[in-house]
Structure 1
Amino acid sequence: MKHAPAAVLGAATVVLLVGPLLLPDPDAADFAALLAGPSAAHPLGTDQLGRDLLARVVDGGRLTIGLSLLTVLVTGLTGVAVGLLAAATGVVGQALIRVVDVLAAIPVVLFGLLAAVVLGPGIASVLIAVSLIGWTPFARQTYLLALVESGRDYVSGAVSLGAGPVRVLVRHVGPNIAAPLAAHARVRFAATLLTISGLSFLGLGVQPPTAEWGAMVAEGREYLFTAPQVVLVPSIAVVLTAGAVAWWGRSRTNES
């Protein structure tokens, strides 16, 4: 059980990398097999346009996971920088964290609506919506971890030797909080994947006919009772991926 998340993620990675080389065109329509069930030609069935669901869920996974990774990278670097800055600036840092708390309380969907109004629905809108406040959990986590580490003896020793606050945080505190921050990033990746899929499901993110897990669920929801695979396949992909990454992240947090 301990290695189950890693096994799921490893298998998913192999499928996403190798799948496009072996599977048919995800946008190719087979009008003789509309909403068909699983078969030798289409192992997971087809959607309402006769497109192979296995090919589309693999293609959509590359986009959904890619967007999630990019967002976590950008928001993680931003949040860690803000958190370290807040930890190094005393009263100013405390005020900065209060601002972070206010921003974190604003729903991502609201930013998604605003971005969609300004830019129109699409990849740019969903990235902006998630990134605008996605850095706040990283900032708060970094700030709290840095405060705890700053009270340890090795930090006092570095200060007594003349190290300034920035040097202490970057050279001494930073490396010691890297592991819990990496675990936090995995949990945030799971949340980000769900958010991006959710915004696409609401029509604010990736637009059809582009394959993306949330958009695929939205496209197929009217066929839920006649051809449930159209909804279940991308939904299961979202749940398994997000669940495996979150489980992996929490297990690493407990170990830390």
Structure 2
Amino acid sequence: MAGTVRIGTAAAIVVVALVLLIGPLLLPEPDRADFADLLAGPSSSHPLGTDQLGRDVLARLVHGGRLTIGLSLFAVLATGVAGVAVGMLAAATGGPGRLLMRLVDVLAAIPVVLFGLVAAVALGPGTASLLVAVTAIAWTPFARQTFLLVRAERGRDYVTAAVALGAGPVRVLVHHVGRNLVPPLAAHACVRFASTLLTVSGLSFLGLGIQPPTAEWGAMVAEGREYLFTAPHVVLVPSVAVVLTAGTALSWGRRWDRTGPW
């Protein structure tokens, strides 16, 4: 079962990466308008149809995926590294670490979506403000989970044995304890990726993130919502992409939590 999960996960990641990297080279320009072919349905020349400006929906979907998924991945990696570092530091420093975690608990009580809305409004729409919105406090869940996991692992027999054999605290934390943190933290990263992707798309949908005419899944839904009943593909295609991507990440998280990703 674990081997099948790993192979399937690796294959899916490779396929998505190839589509996002090579797809734009094979598809029309995402912003190229064709006013003679507005809101056209799927055809051989436009497999997913065209939007209200005659732009190819498939091309915009792929280009938008690079931006939506790329921003979400960057945010999760950045907040994950920062959160794990803070959590390990807090777990290794005793009293000061517990005080640090109280600060983390206060920040973690702030809803990420609410903070994202405030940050996007305060800083104005755009990619930079969107990144601030989805990274500023999103590292706190990683810090809390790492802190709790490290404290639980340090009480196990293999840690006691490593200390008895002369392993120092840094070696115990990084080499022994850190190895066993990978599966739960990888699972948590998948959950955070799904949440971040929804936040990125949601802020862009509200006009507080990526701005038109740049292709981004949330912005595509916002641009096409007026044509939901006349040309539903304009809204359904990016909406389904968001749901499927977030759902797949959550599914991977559940599997990795049981089997471990490596």
The normalised TM-score by structure 2 is: 0.90
| Cα offsets for 1:132-186 (capped at 9, x unmatched) | 1111111111111111110012222333455443442123211221232122212
Deviation at 1:6, TM superposition (A): 5.7
Matched residue type, 2:134: V
Is 2:151 the partner of 1:110?
Answer: no
Which residue of 166, 170, 174 maps to 1:170?
174
Q: 101-110 or 16-25: which moved more?
A: 101-110
Name stretches of at least 5 consecutive residues in structure 2 with no aligned partner.
none
Assess, with a 3 A threshold, how the Cα gap between structure 1 residues 175 and 5 changes in structure 2: closer, same or farther. Answer: closer
Is 2:169 the partner of 1:155?
Answer: no
Following TM superposition, where does structure 1 have runs of at least 4 consecutive aligned residues deviating by more than 4 angstroms?
1-10, 161-164
SS class of match (1:80) = helix
Which residue of 13, 17, 20 maps to 2:17?
13
Look up the match of 1:76.
80
Is 2:203 the partner of 1:199?
Answer: yes
Assess, with a 3 A threshold, how the Cα gap between structure 1 residues 210 and 138 changes in structure 2: closer, same or farther. Answer: same
Q: 246-255 or 106-115: which moved more?
A: 106-115
| Cα offsets for 1:12-70 (capped at 9, x unmatched) | 33321221111111100010111111111111011111100000000000011111111
Q: Is the 8 A contact 1:5 1:245 kept in 2?
A: no
Cα distance in structure 1, aligned partners of 2:72 and 2:38 = 31
Which residue of 140, 144, 158 maps to 2:144?
140
Matched residue type, 1:90: G
Look up the match of 1:97.
101
Which residue of 193, 213, 216 maps to 1:212?
216
Is 2:143 the partner of 1:127?
Answer: no
Look up the match of 2:31.
27
Matched residue type, 2:19: V
Deviation at 1:8, TM superposition (A): 4.8
Task: Report % sequence identity.
Answer: 73
Q: Is the 8 A contact 1:9 1:244 kept in 2?
A: no
Q: Is the 8 A contact 1:8 1:244 kept in 2?
A: no
Q: Is the 8 A contact 1:180 1:253 kept in 2?
A: yes
Is 2:236 the partner of 1:232?
Answer: yes
Assess, with a 3 A threshold, how the Cα gap between structure 1 residues 181 and 216 changes in structure 2: closer, same or farther. Answer: same
Q: Is the 8 A contact 1:5 1:247 kept in 2?
A: no
* Number of residues of Structure 1 aligned to a counterpart in Structure 2: 256
RMSD: 2.0
SS class of match (2:136) = helix
Cα distance in structure 2, aligned partners of 1:5 and 1:149 = 27
Name stretches of at least 5 consecutive residues in structure 1 with no aligned partner.
none
Matched residue type, 2:256: R
